[in-house]
Amino acid sequence: MKLVVVSAGLSVPSSTRLLADRLAAAVDRRTPVDVQVVEVRALAVEIAHHLTSGFPGPDLAAALRAVGEADGLVVVTPVFAASYSGLFKSFFDVLDQDALAGRPVLVAATGGSARHSLVLDHALRPLFAHLRAVVVPTGVYAASEDWGAEGLPERIDRAAGELAALLAAARPDHGRGLPDPGPVPPGRGAEPAAHRPLPPERGPVPVPGAPVSEGPPVRAGGFEVVPFAQRLAALAGGTPQG
Protein backbone atom coordinates (compact mmCIF):
# COMPACT_ATOMS: atom_id res chain seq x y z
CA MET A 1 0.00 0.00 0.00
CA LYS A 2 1.27 3.43 -0.90
CA LEU A 3 0.78 6.37 1.43
CA VAL A 4 1.66 9.81 0.10
CA VAL A 5 2.22 12.56 2.65
CA VAL A 6 1.75 16.11 1.38
CA SER A 7 3.43 18.59 3.70
CA ALA A 8 3.20 22.31 3.06
CA GLY A 9 5.41 23.72 5.81
CA LEU A 10 7.78 26.48 4.72
CA SER A 11 10.46 26.57 7.40
CA VAL A 12 13.23 24.02 7.89
CA PRO A 13 12.80 22.26 10.24
CA SER A 14 9.05 22.55 10.07
CA SER A 15 6.46 21.65 12.69
CA THR A 16 4.12 20.86 9.78
CA ARG A 17 6.58 18.23 8.55
CA LEU A 18 7.02 17.00 12.14
CA LEU A 19 3.27 16.42 12.45
CA ALA A 20 3.20 14.81 8.99
CA ASP A 21 5.95 12.35 9.93
CA ARG A 22 4.22 11.46 13.22
CA LEU A 23 0.97 10.76 11.37
CA ALA A 24 2.69 8.64 8.70
CA ALA A 25 4.51 6.59 11.34
CA ALA A 26 1.27 6.04 13.26
CA VAL A 27 -0.47 4.78 10.09
CA ASP A 28 2.45 2.48 9.29
CA ARG A 29 2.28 0.92 12.78
CA ARG A 30 -1.28 -0.22 12.07
CA THR A 31 -0.99 -1.26 8.44
CA PRO A 32 2.38 -1.40 6.69
CA VAL A 33 2.66 1.31 4.04
CA ASP A 34 5.29 2.62 1.65
CA VAL A 35 5.51 6.29 2.55
CA GLN A 36 6.41 8.97 0.02
CA VAL A 37 6.61 12.57 1.23
CA VAL A 38 5.80 15.47 -1.10
CA GLU A 39 7.30 18.68 0.27
CA VAL A 40 5.26 21.35 -1.47
CA ARG A 41 7.86 24.02 -0.68
CA ALA A 42 10.29 22.36 -3.10
CA LEU A 43 7.66 22.55 -5.84
CA ALA A 44 6.69 26.20 -5.27
CA VAL A 45 8.26 27.57 -8.47
CA GLU A 46 7.03 24.71 -10.66
CA ILE A 47 3.51 25.16 -9.27
CA ALA A 48 3.58 28.86 -10.18
CA HIS A 49 4.85 28.00 -13.67
CA HIS A 50 2.13 25.38 -14.09
CA LEU A 51 -0.45 28.05 -13.30
CA THR A 52 0.96 30.33 -16.00
CA SER A 53 2.08 27.83 -18.65
CA GLY A 54 -0.54 25.09 -18.21
CA PHE A 55 1.77 22.10 -17.84
CA PRO A 56 3.83 20.75 -14.95
CA GLY A 57 7.62 20.74 -14.78
CA PRO A 58 9.32 17.38 -14.23
CA ASP A 59 9.39 17.39 -10.38
CA LEU A 60 5.80 18.58 -10.09
CA ALA A 61 4.68 16.03 -12.67
CA ALA A 62 6.31 13.28 -10.59
CA ALA A 63 4.62 14.55 -7.41
CA LEU A 64 1.20 14.76 -9.08
CA ARG A 65 1.68 11.26 -10.45
CA ALA A 66 2.60 9.96 -6.98
CA VAL A 67 -0.53 11.53 -5.48
CA GLY A 68 -2.66 10.04 -8.28
CA GLU A 69 -1.24 6.58 -7.64
CA ALA A 70 -1.49 6.72 -3.83
CA ASP A 71 -3.79 4.39 -1.94
CA GLY A 72 -4.22 7.05 0.72
CA LEU A 73 -2.99 10.51 1.69
CA VAL A 74 -1.95 12.45 4.74
CA VAL A 75 -2.12 16.18 4.02
CA VAL A 76 -0.74 18.79 6.40
CA THR A 77 -0.73 22.56 6.00
CA PRO A 78 0.22 25.48 8.19
CA VAL A 79 -2.60 27.94 8.87
CA PHE A 80 -2.10 31.19 6.96
CA ALA A 81 -4.63 34.04 7.14
CA ALA A 82 -7.43 31.90 8.60
CA SER A 83 -7.09 29.04 6.10
CA TYR A 84 -4.72 26.56 4.46
CA SER A 85 -1.64 28.16 2.93
CA GLY A 86 -2.01 29.43 -0.62
CA LEU A 87 0.78 27.16 -1.78
CA PHE A 88 -0.96 24.10 -0.32
CA LYS A 89 -4.16 25.07 -2.14
CA SER A 90 -2.28 25.74 -5.38
CA PHE A 91 -0.83 22.22 -5.32
CA PHE A 92 -4.33 20.77 -5.22
CA ASP A 93 -5.51 23.34 -7.80
CA VAL A 94 -3.16 21.85 -10.38
CA LEU A 95 -4.01 18.25 -9.50
CA ASP A 96 -6.35 16.48 -11.92
CA GLN A 97 -9.89 16.89 -10.62
CA ASP A 98 -10.48 13.13 -10.47
CA ALA A 99 -7.11 12.17 -8.99
CA LEU A 100 -8.39 11.72 -5.44
CA ALA A 101 -11.89 10.43 -6.12
CA GLY A 102 -12.72 7.72 -3.60
CA ARG A 103 -9.30 7.83 -1.89
CA PRO A 104 -8.99 8.08 1.90
CA VAL A 105 -7.37 11.29 3.15
CA LEU A 106 -6.32 12.35 6.63
CA VAL A 107 -6.36 16.14 7.06
CA ALA A 108 -4.08 17.94 9.50
CA ALA A 109 -2.88 21.47 10.19
CA THR A 110 -0.48 23.39 12.35
CA GLY A 111 -0.76 26.88 13.80
CA GLY A 112 0.57 29.24 16.41
CA SER A 113 -2.38 28.86 18.73
CA ALA A 114 -5.48 26.71 19.13
CA ARG A 115 -7.72 29.54 17.94
CA HIS A 116 -7.48 28.36 14.30
CA SER A 117 -8.25 24.70 14.84
CA LEU A 118 -11.56 24.90 12.97
CA VAL A 119 -9.53 25.34 9.77
CA LEU A 120 -9.71 21.54 9.57
CA ASP A 121 -13.48 21.50 9.28
CA HIS A 122 -14.13 24.86 7.62
CA ALA A 123 -11.36 24.83 4.99
CA LEU A 124 -9.65 21.46 4.56
CA ARG A 125 -12.72 19.22 4.75
CA PRO A 126 -14.70 21.13 2.05
CA LEU A 127 -11.62 21.19 -0.23
CA PHE A 128 -11.26 17.40 -0.10
CA ALA A 129 -15.02 16.91 -0.32
CA HIS A 130 -14.84 18.85 -3.58
CA LEU A 131 -12.09 16.51 -4.78
CA ARG A 132 -14.42 13.61 -3.85
CA ALA A 133 -11.90 12.14 -1.44
CA VAL A 134 -13.00 10.23 1.67
CA VAL A 135 -11.86 12.37 4.59
CA VAL A 136 -11.40 10.40 7.81
CA PRO A 137 -13.57 11.61 10.70
CA THR A 138 -10.71 12.76 12.92
CA GLY A 139 -8.59 15.67 11.74
CA VAL A 140 -5.44 16.61 13.66
CA TYR A 141 -4.59 20.18 14.56
CA ALA A 142 -1.38 20.98 16.38
CA ALA A 143 -0.83 24.41 17.89
CA SER A 144 2.62 25.31 19.20
CA GLU A 145 1.48 24.61 22.75
CA ASP A 146 0.32 21.08 21.79
CA TRP A 147 3.91 19.97 21.32
CA GLY A 148 4.34 20.31 25.12
CA ALA A 149 0.91 19.22 26.28
CA GLU A 150 -1.19 16.11 26.59
CA GLY A 151 -3.67 14.98 23.96
CA LEU A 152 -1.81 15.28 20.63
CA PRO A 153 -0.50 11.66 20.54
CA GLU A 154 -4.01 10.35 21.20
CA ARG A 155 -5.49 12.42 18.36
CA ILE A 156 -2.70 11.29 16.03
CA ASP A 157 -3.38 7.66 16.96
CA ARG A 158 -7.12 7.95 16.49
CA ALA A 159 -6.85 9.66 13.09
CA ALA A 160 -4.13 7.24 11.92
CA GLY A 161 -6.28 4.31 13.03
CA GLU A 162 -9.17 5.57 10.94
CA LEU A 163 -6.98 6.00 7.87
CA ALA A 164 -5.32 2.61 8.40
CA ALA A 165 -8.73 0.93 8.58
CA LEU A 166 -9.76 2.42 5.22
CA LEU A 167 -6.43 1.45 3.67
CA ALA A 168 -6.73 -2.11 5.00
CA ALA A 169 -10.26 -2.37 3.62
CA ALA A 170 -8.95 -1.27 0.22
CA ARG A 171 -6.21 -3.93 0.00
CA PRO A 172 -6.32 -5.81 -3.31
CA ASP A 173 -7.97 -8.86 -1.68
CA HIS A 174 -10.71 -6.54 -0.44
CA GLY A 175 -11.28 -4.74 -3.75
CA ARG A 176 -10.52 -1.07 -4.33
CA GLY A 177 -11.70 1.22 -1.55
CA LEU A 178 -15.28 2.30 -1.75
CA PRO A 179 -17.83 0.24 -3.67
CA ASP A 180 -18.16 1.13 -7.34
CA PRO A 181 -20.93 3.74 -7.56
CA GLY A 182 -22.02 2.30 -10.91
CA PRO A 183 -22.51 4.12 -14.18
CA VAL A 184 -23.16 7.83 -14.14
CA PRO A 185 -26.48 8.91 -15.68
CA PRO A 186 -26.20 10.90 -18.91
CA GLY A 187 -25.99 14.65 -18.59
CA ARG A 188 -24.08 14.62 -15.32
CA GLY A 189 -20.53 15.84 -15.03
CA ALA A 190 -20.13 17.01 -18.58
CA GLU A 191 -16.51 18.09 -18.17
CA PRO A 192 -14.12 15.90 -20.12
CA ALA A 193 -12.38 13.66 -17.63
CA ALA A 194 -10.34 11.01 -19.36
CA HIS A 195 -7.06 12.96 -19.56
CA ARG A 196 -5.08 11.43 -16.78
CA PRO A 197 -2.53 8.85 -17.81
CA LEU A 198 -3.39 5.62 -16.07
CA PRO A 199 -0.93 4.12 -13.63
CA PRO A 200 0.37 1.02 -15.38
CA GLU A 201 0.04 -1.39 -12.45
CA ARG A 202 -3.71 -0.90 -12.12
CA GLY A 203 -6.53 -1.71 -14.46
CA PRO A 204 -8.55 1.11 -16.00
CA VAL A 205 -9.82 3.44 -13.30
CA PRO A 206 -13.50 4.20 -13.81
CA VAL A 207 -13.74 7.91 -14.50
CA PRO A 208 -16.80 9.45 -12.87
CA GLY A 209 -18.38 11.92 -15.23
CA ALA A 210 -17.25 10.13 -18.37
CA PRO A 211 -20.10 9.54 -20.80
CA VAL A 212 -22.07 6.37 -20.60
CA SER A 213 -20.97 3.84 -23.15
CA GLU A 214 -22.25 0.49 -24.25
CA GLY A 215 -18.92 -1.23 -24.43
CA PRO A 216 -15.60 -0.85 -22.68
CA PRO A 217 -13.41 2.17 -23.38
CA VAL A 218 -10.35 1.54 -25.51
CA ARG A 219 -6.79 2.40 -24.55
CA ALA A 220 -4.07 3.87 -26.73
CA GLY A 221 -1.19 6.26 -26.15
CA GLY A 222 -1.77 5.86 -22.41
CA PHE A 223 -5.25 7.38 -22.77
CA GLU A 224 -8.59 5.74 -22.36
CA VAL A 225 -11.28 6.83 -24.78
CA VAL A 226 -14.90 5.96 -25.53
CA PRO A 227 -15.20 4.53 -29.08
CA PHE A 228 -16.47 7.33 -31.30
CA ALA A 229 -19.57 5.58 -32.62
CA GLN A 230 -20.84 5.13 -29.06
CA ARG A 231 -20.29 8.78 -28.26
CA LEU A 232 -22.06 9.82 -31.44
CA ALA A 233 -24.97 7.45 -30.85
CA ALA A 234 -25.42 8.85 -27.33
CA LEU A 235 -26.40 12.20 -28.87
CA ALA A 236 -29.95 12.39 -30.10
CA GLY A 237 -30.09 12.19 -33.87
CA GLY A 238 -26.36 11.69 -34.22
CA THR A 239 -26.56 8.46 -36.20
CA PRO A 240 -23.15 6.99 -37.01
CA GLN A 241 -22.29 7.23 -40.67
CA GLY A 242 -22.90 4.25 -42.93
Give phi and psi for 215, each to the nearest 5. Answer: -110, 180
Examine residue 65 and tell whether it contacts other proteins (CB under 8 A).
Answer: no
Residue 1's CB: how many other CB atoms inside 10 A? 18
* Binding pattern for the stretch 174-193 against other proteins, x by CB under 8 A and - elsewhere: ----------------xxx-
Residue 231 CB, shortest distance to other proteins, in Å, is 6
Stretch that binds other proteins, among 63-71, 126-134, 135-143, 194-202 (CB under 8 A): 194-202
Cβ nearer to other proteins, comparing 122 with 195: 195
Positive or negative torsion for Cα 230, 232, 237, 242: negative
Examine residue 225 and tell whether it contacts other proteins (CB under 8 A).
Answer: yes
Examine residue 8 and tell whether it contacts other proteins (CB under 8 A).
Answer: no
Distance CA 95, CA 28 (A): 25
221: CB partners within 8 A, 6+ apart: none
Cβ nearer to other proteins, comparing 178 with 233: 233
Residue 42 CB, shortest distance to other proteins, in Å, is 16
Residue 84's CB: how many other CB atoms inside 10 A? 24
Residue 196 CB, shortest distance to other proteins, in Å, is 11
Residue 103's CB: how many other CB atoms inside 10 A? 24
Task: Return the residue of 32, 175, 197, 216 that touches other proteins, per CB under 8 A.
Answer: 197
Nearest to 97 by CA among 4, 200, 209, 199: 209
Examine residue 148 and tell whether it contacts other proteins (CB under 8 A).
Answer: no
Distance CA 225, CA 227 (A): 6
Nearest to 108 by CA among 148, 79, 65, 81: 79
Total interface residues for other proteins by CB under 8 A = 33
Examine residue 227 and tell whether it contacts other proteins (CB under 8 A).
Answer: yes
Please report, as ranges, the residues that interact with other proteins according to CB under 8 A.
48-49, 51-55, 57, 190-192, 194-195, 197, 218, 220-229, 231-232, 235-238, 241-242
